[in-house]
Each structure stands twice: as structure tokens, then as C-alpha cells.
Amino acid sequence: MTEPDVASSDATNISMSCVRDGDDYVLNGQKWWSSGAGDPRCAVYIVMVNTPDENRSKHQQHSQVIVDAKTSGIEVLRPMQVYGHDDAPHGHMHIKFDNVRVPAENLLLGEGRGFEISQGRLGPGRIHHCMRAIGQAERALEMMCKRSMQREAFGKRLAQLGANFDIIANCRMETEQARLLCLKAAWVMDQGDARAAAPWISQIKVVAPLMALKVIDEAVQMYGAQGISQDTSLARAWTHVRTLRLADGPDAVHRRQVARAELKKYTQEKV
């Protein structure tokens, strides 16, 4: 297994090296899970690189640089698989940079401003993921209900068997709870203070995928074997939503953000 050796839960670990050499920067390192890089239309990469400077803070050690995907020294090693799917053509590529030379003017904003750029993009990106997860839950619930009214076993519709009324009701209630939390997070974002919005985005980033996974799983159950097969969209939806508990920050990292915001209400100390 070729695994780049940093935990990106903590993105301050990112170690792709980027060294100034005359009018260029020279990049060395590997990046896996580069989503979208498999698409033939992907012509440029925005690469987060390490540009260390001991005079700057921990969150000012990184920069972002635009790299033409055709630059010499770039090798796409493989598409990473998601539960066995390569997600082509989008793809989550494992890419190696070997002495990749980039014009110095391709560095965005300036050295040390990588996190500043990321924070501006990741909030809206995360809430967008959550909206789509809620949409997938809604679709799964609709499919679950239709199936439970159409199919019969033991002389009754599936809906009327066992605890299926409760399952359907719980799925509706939990979908609506997540939808309202998502709306609240979007509203806080719209107030214009990214720092204040961050813990709200983290809340929905934990809640929406967990809720959607549960609803999709219940829909799979209502479909029986068909639910895990290629004949419905449910299996694919589940694997997609499962990735959201990792991509754009694992649950634990977002819970940490939520807890720290909560604790800060009660102390002046760093938490």
C-alpha cells in the first residue's frame, strides 16, 4: 500500500514541499484523494503546499498554488476506490509530484495564506454536501414509503408489518430535524461572520450524513436484497454518503469544533 504519511484530519500536517527557486516554485510530494482530478476536463490543480516560516503562526505555514495538470513531473498513480468503486470519471486520484516547476506568480494571495483561502471555500462546500445528503435521505424515504405500500408479505403490505410505521415516522422526523439545522447553519453563514458560522457548519456536517445513512439503510432494508443491488440507487447513495463522514473533515474533528465553541462560552482560557 502506498499511503502518504500524514493525517489530514489535522491539515497543519500537510507536507507537500514547495521551495522557491528563481522565478519558480518546485513541488515535491504526494496527494491522494484529489477529488475531480480524474475528470478529463480537469486542467489545473489547486495544491496546498508547505511553505514553512518560523516567524509565522501554525496556520500560516501553508500556501496554495495553481498547477497546470500537464506540467512535467506530475504522475497520476491511481484512482482511489470508494468501497470498490473508482467514481469515474470524477475520480479521487493519487498524484505524485516530482520536482514539479510552477511559475512563482501561480501562488495564490501570498505565502502562508493557504488556510485563509481554505476556510473561505470549505464552509460553503461543507453545507452544500449536507444539503445533498438531506436530498438523498428525502429520496430514500420516498422510495421506502412507495415500496412499503406496494409489496406484500404475510398477507399485508410491508408498511403494516412489524415496526415499519415507527421506522417511517422516525425517518421523516430525523430528516426534518437535519433540514432545519442545515437552514440555521446557512442563515448564520448569511450573517457574514465566518468564525461564528463555523461551529454551526460543523454541527450539520456531523448530523446530516449520520441521519442520511440511517434513512438510506432503512430504505435498503425495506427493499430486501434489491436494496443492496445495482437495481436501485440506494446502495450507491449509501456509499457516497458514508464518505462524507470522512471527507471535508471526519466527524470527530467537527465535534471538537462544536465542543470548543460551547466551552468558550464559559472560559477565557484556550480550549
Ligand X SMILES: Cc1cc2nc3c(=O)[nH]c(=O)nc-3n(C[C@H](O)[C@H](O)[C@H](O)COP(=O)(O)OP(=O)(O)OC[C@H]3O[C@@H](n4cnc5c(N)ncnc54)[C@H](O)[C@@H]3O)c2cc1C
Residues in touch with ligand X (CB under 6 A): 7-9, 33-35, 82, 92, 243, 246-247, 249-250, 252-253, 256
Q: Which is nearer to ligand X, 9 or 57 (CB)?
A: 9
- Closest contact distance (angstroms) between CB of 245 and ligand X is 8
Cβ atoms of 93 and 30 closer than 8 Å: no
Q: Which is nearer to ligand X, 88 or 225 (CB)?
A: 88
Q: Which is nearer to ligand X, 145 or 246 (CB)?
A: 246
Residues 98, 76, 5, 54, Cα dihedral to 10°: 50
Cβ atoms of 15 and 62 closer than 8 Å: no
Q: Which is nearer to ligand X, 11 or 161 (CB)?
A: 11
Q: Which is nearer to ligand X, 7 or 180 (CB)?
A: 7
- Closest contact distance (angstroms) between CB of 34 and ligand X is 5
Q: Which is nearer to ligand X, 9 or 177 (CB)?
A: 9
Length of the chain: 271
Residue with the three cell numbers 454551526 = 200
- Closest contact distance (angstroms) between CB of 264 and ligand X is 17
Please report which residue ranges of the chain form alpha helices under DSSP H.
Answer: 114-150, 164-190, 194-223, 225-228, 234-243, 251-263
- Closest contact distance (angstroms) between CB of 102 and ligand X is 18
Q: Which residue, 21, 28, 18, is CA-closest to 63? A: 18
- Closest contact distance (angstroms) between CB of 235 and ligand X is 16
- Closest contact distance (angstroms) between CB of 10 and ligand X is 7
- Closest contact distance (angstroms) between CB of 6 and ligand X is 7
Measure the CA–CA gap between 143 and 145, rounded to whole angstroms. Answer: 5
Q: Which is nearer to ligand X, 5 or 193 (CB)?
A: 5
Beta strand 156-157 pairing with 74-79:
unpaired
Cβ atoms of 219 and 235 closer than 8 Å: no
CB-neighbour burial class of residue 17 (10 A; exposed 0-12, middle 13-18, buried 19+): middle
